[in-house]
Chain A
Amino acid sequence: MRIARISEKKITEEQEQVDVNLLDSLIEKYKDKKGNLIPLLQGTQDIFGYIPHEAFEKISSQVGIELSDMYGVVTFYAQFRLNPVGKHIIKVCHGTACHVQNANAITDALKESLKINDGETTEDGMFTLELVACLGCCSLAPVMMIDNETHGKLTGGQAVKIIKNIKIKESN
């Protein structure tokens, strides 16, 4: 069920230092609109990369949506995250076409190399790994997308190499 998406990892207070004032214009825009919860959450995630605890409270008190309703919606939709993300987001496509072209090999090699599971972020905050249903580039299967660049026709080894290259670039 969808509840499986909720990560057990708790974030420490140190990690969560967000400026909720950034939400003001967003709240202003959607405050009195019908069906505003999802756009509000999407906007929040656009700002912070995830939905921080403080944002929940601020939106709830200013827009008048129950915290429980917000949490219900956040955990229902795959798009929303409750944890901060790494600098680079790796999306490995697990659509049907990628699956039959062995997308598992890419995921397994990345998990092994980065020592993280689906939805988790490396300790150095560099990479977040996400398995997604379909990136729509079926003819290039198997595919992964790092930030906004798509890499196609991959093997596990090539995927790991791409990550290594990013690490090298970052350390320079």
Chain B
Amino acid sequence: MENIKVIVGLGSCGIAAGANKVFEKIKALKEADNLKFELKKTSCIGMCYREPLVEIVDDKGSYLYGDINEKKAAELIEKHILENEPIKSYVVQSDLFETPDKDFIKDQVKITLRNCGYIDPEIIEEYEVRGGYRAIRKIAGQRISRLDVIQTVINSGLRGRGGGGFPTGLKWKFANNNKADEKFIICNADEGDPGAFMDRSVLEGDPHAVLEGMIIGAYAIEATGGVIYCRAEYPLAIKRLNIAIEQARRKGYLGKNILSIDGFNFDIYIKEGAGAFVCGEETALIASVEGERGMPRKRPPFPAESGLWQKPTNINNVETLANIPWILLHGSEEYAKYGTEKSKGTKVFALAGKIKRSGLVEVPMGMSIRDVIFKLGGGIQNDKKFKAVQMGGPSGGCIPAYLADTIIDYDSVNDTGAIMGSGGMVVMDETTCMVDVAKFFLDFTQKESCGKCTFCRAGTKRMLEILTRITEGKGEEGDIEKLEELSYQIKDSSLCGLGQTAPNPVLTTIKYFREEYEVHIRDKKCPAKVCKALLTYEVDPDKCTGCMVCAKNCPTDAIDGARKEVHFIRQDACIKCGTCYTKCKFDAIKIY
């Protein structure tokens, strides 16, 4: 039993699903009977749809168990560990036999996520054993020059994974060109896109990879200080980063004359963001680190010339930095083997929405959107009809089902009107209203606009008013044209990326789903049955059995009717939440 390892996935998703309870249960059972197996923690494995996950590794191989609760955990100890009989029906992934979930894993290429789910992120040695800090050791040991490091990154074709897609190596080159007594490297971990959680998973699952990426970057551009700007909403990520920084200092990867490279002094501290989406924009982020309102500044000068405290500054995203050690260790050619002509390597996506297998996937660039959603993601929940996929969050757009064969690279996705963005992929089915989605994103960007540029501040407000009107059945002829006109003006007259891209969700939904807008405006109907003001809930008297389930579940007690009698919905009290519709087993609630 000493050889058996039990590993519990304790990322944020897992913990939300109850992984802490499972871990405590296993720990209690182990201690109660003085069992000798090894109990370990890891972070996000990526299969969020199966959380909580427990992996048991024995002499024969690895078994990843999914949907584990305390009761099932006790069964696993009993059967698998004590009786040596794996419970095959709970296994979601194994290297010994095939499972239905194998398609989720099979086509993935894990570079960024190479350690996520494999190591305990709070133990530096586990990172080192899997090749960690070997890239910076190689640079120090072989005396690889700064320019050669930069050239390797340029040759790899790595582009900024935060959404911009700017070649990382070139960015480093610019920062290297500007000489100054102080220089900074900032890791942008202000993952603000609603529906995206890639960076959080990397920070929680493999914080040392990000640190090593920063250390290599600092060496390349001669940075003297490092800042990780992390969302305060990610407490677990911040905790693990703090532990990692402390360990790296202790081992001499941070501090003075790092790895005996003469004059290479570098340290990192964490700056907690305070909740402002616009701080994902480089110049706004710098303003925020300086303690001000996070409002973007005019460029030029670019941060590479004058950034944090007016010193040359280089800003990279979490995922970009996590790739760096791998590229330096394995070489640029190895990295550039994956991907398309202009987009090299792999990209991590957060699959969410109406998809069967939601979670974190890393695929080589060039895979089609259809393969990601249907092969890896297993298709649409309840086998409904795939309508669109939202990529790029509030700056991106909706790609319709008929363009699902679009391949994933920066340029192909841009051609659709969406953007690659940071990697959120929210899948929508026939029950998603595209006008409502456009309104949702605009509401978000409108609230998050810093207010500096008039068109972004006032224009998004006017657009939101028009969209709200349309979803309330008060749309007018000419509204679509007005939205388009405002969109182009906002794009043209905004200083930063937030304003320049804010209209994208509206423009793409108009482009691909214009008819749906027209039905809202002309017929005052919402085909997807989402826009509440356009709906009426009624009980079908022929189908109602008087079971009272709807009345019991109604949050506003708007449903009248005695047992075994036809029920009635009082329209004045109905908040149109749809609970009755989802609860009714007899299909007796009709939406008009």
Contact = CB atoms under 8 A, between A and B. Distances in A.
Interface of A: 1-5, 34-39, 41-42, 69, 72-73, 76-80, 94-97, 99-102, 105, 108-109, 112-113, 132-141, 143, 150, 152, 155-157, 160
Interface stretch (B212-220, B288-296, B477-485): B288-296
A1 B194 CA distance: 18
Interface stretch (B32-40, B57-65, B260-268, B424-432): B424-432
Given A97-B195, A137-B12, A112 B555 contact: yes
Contact of A139 (B271, B352, B432, B554): B352
Contacts of B448: 2
Contacts of B49: 139
Contacts, number: 165
Interface stretch (B67-75, B272-280, B324-332): B272-280
Nearest to B440: A99
Q: What 9 pairs between A and B have smallest CB-CB spacing? A: A96-B195, A78-B275, A95-B194, A139-B48, A77-B274, A138-B352, A150-B16, A97-B352, A35-B291
29 contacts: A1-B449, A1-B457, A35-B291, A37-B291, A38-B272, A38-B274, A69-B292, A76-B276, A76-B294, A77-B294, A79-B232, A95-B194, A95-B195, A96-B195, A96-B424, A99-B437, A99-B440, A100-B426, A100-B437, A109-B556, A109-B577, A133-B192, A134-B192, A135-B233, A136-B13, A139-B48, A150-B15, A155-B582, A156-B555
A65 to B, nearest CB: 9
B359 interface: yes
Contacts of A134: 192-197, 233
Interface residues of B, number: 67
A34 to B, nearest CB: 7
B194 A140 contact: no
Nearest to A99: B440
B272 A133 contact: no
B194 A94 contact: yes
A152 B342 CA distance: 40
Given A39-B272, A41-B274, A150-B16, 5 more contacts: A1-B447, A1-B449, A96-B393, A101-B353, A134-B195
B171 interface: no
B374 to A, nearest CB: 18
A78 B197 contact: no
A112 B200 CA distance: 33
A2 B450 CA distance: 7
B319 interface: no
Interface in B519-567: 553-556
